[in-house]
C-alpha cells in the first residue's frame, strides 16, 4: 500500500481530509513520521506556503506527501486576511480573536462577500502538483453555530443560509474549499497510480 503524509499538525484539518482520502493509501500524519517541528509558512502566496511544507517533509523525511494552505479572503478588506488568516489577530492564532477582528473590520460594511481559498501541493516521486479549491460565500454580522473550527461561525457558503459552524461535517464537505481541492488530488492519484 502506498504511503502518503499530510503535512499538518492541525487535528481539524486531518479529520476533514481523512473523511475524503481513499483507502488505497496509508495515510500518515506528521507525528507518525516523527516530524514535530513547526514548519515555517513565510511565502507570500498559498501556493508558496503549501510548497514550503511539502518540500520540508519530502526533503527532510523522504516521504511522498501533500500539504495545504488555506486562507479567508474578504473583498471589502482588499482580500485580507489572505495568507495570514490563522495569524490575523496576532501570533497566538486565536480563532476567537481572529473573528472579532474581522467582524470589527467589517462593521457597517454592506459588501460581505468572502471566499475560502485552498491550495494543495502534492509531491509524488519528487514531482510537484497543485490543486485549488475555492468556496465563495459571505461573512455574517455575528457568530452562529458551535461546530467546525477557525472562521466557520461567521462564514456562510454561497447557496446556504447557515454558517459552516451550523452544519454537520458531512454537510460542510459539500461546499468546502478543502474538499474541492482534495477531490482534485484524489482524482489525480487514481489516474497516476
Instruction: Give catalytic residues, as residue numbers.
Output: 69
Closest by CA position to 5, among listed 14, 96, 129: 14
Burial environment of residue 50 by CB neighbours within 10 A (0 to 12, 13 to 18, 19 or more): buried
Per DSSP (E only), the strands in 78-190 are: 80-81, 113-124, 127-139, 155-157
Closest by CA position to 82, among listed 66, 65, 98, 100: 98
Measured CA to CA, the distance from residue 170 to residue 67 in angstroms comes to 22
Q: Distances in Å between the alpha carbon of 59 and those of 5, 51, 123?
A: 13, 12, 10
Q: Distances in Å between the alpha carbon of 152 and those of 107, 147, 165, 167?
A: 18, 8, 5, 9
Distance of CA 173 to the CA centre of its chain: 12
Q: Distances in Å between the alpha carbon of 58 and those of 99, 147, 155?
A: 34, 33, 34
Amino acid at each position: 500500500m502506498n504511503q502518503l503524509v499530510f503535512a499538518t499538525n492541525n487535528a481539524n484539518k486531518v479529520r476533514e481530509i481523512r473523511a475524503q482520502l481513499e483507502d488505497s493509501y496509508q495515510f500518515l500524519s506528521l507525528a507518525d513520521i516523527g516530524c514535530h517541528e513547526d514548519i515555517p509558512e513565510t511565502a507570500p502566496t498559498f501556493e508558496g506556503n503549501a510548497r514550503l511544507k511539502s518540500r520540508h517533509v519530502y526533503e527532510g523525511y523522504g516521504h511522498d506527501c501533500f500539504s495545504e494552505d488555506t486562507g479567508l479572503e474578504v473583498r471589502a478588506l482588499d482580500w485580507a486576511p489572505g495568507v495570514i488568516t490563522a495569524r490575523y489577530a496576532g501570533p497566538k492564532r486565536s480563532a476567537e480573536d481572529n473573528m472579532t477582528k474581522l467582524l470589527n473590520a467589517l462593521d457597517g460594511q454592506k459588501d460581505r462577500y468572502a471566499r475560502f481559498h485552498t491550495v494543495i501541493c502534492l509531491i509524488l516521486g519528487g514531482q510537484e502538483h497543485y490543486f485549488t479549491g475555492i468556496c465563495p460565500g459571505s461573512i455574517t454580522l455575528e457568530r452562529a453555530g458551535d461546530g467546525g473550527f477557525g472562521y466557520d461561525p461567521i462564514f456562510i457558503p454561497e447557496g446556504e443560509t447557515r454558517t459552516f459552524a451550523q452544519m454537520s461535517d458531512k454537510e460542510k464537505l459539500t461546499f468546502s474549499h478543502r474538499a474541492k481541492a482534495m477531490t482534485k488530488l484524489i482524482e489525480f492519484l487514481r489516474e497516476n497510480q
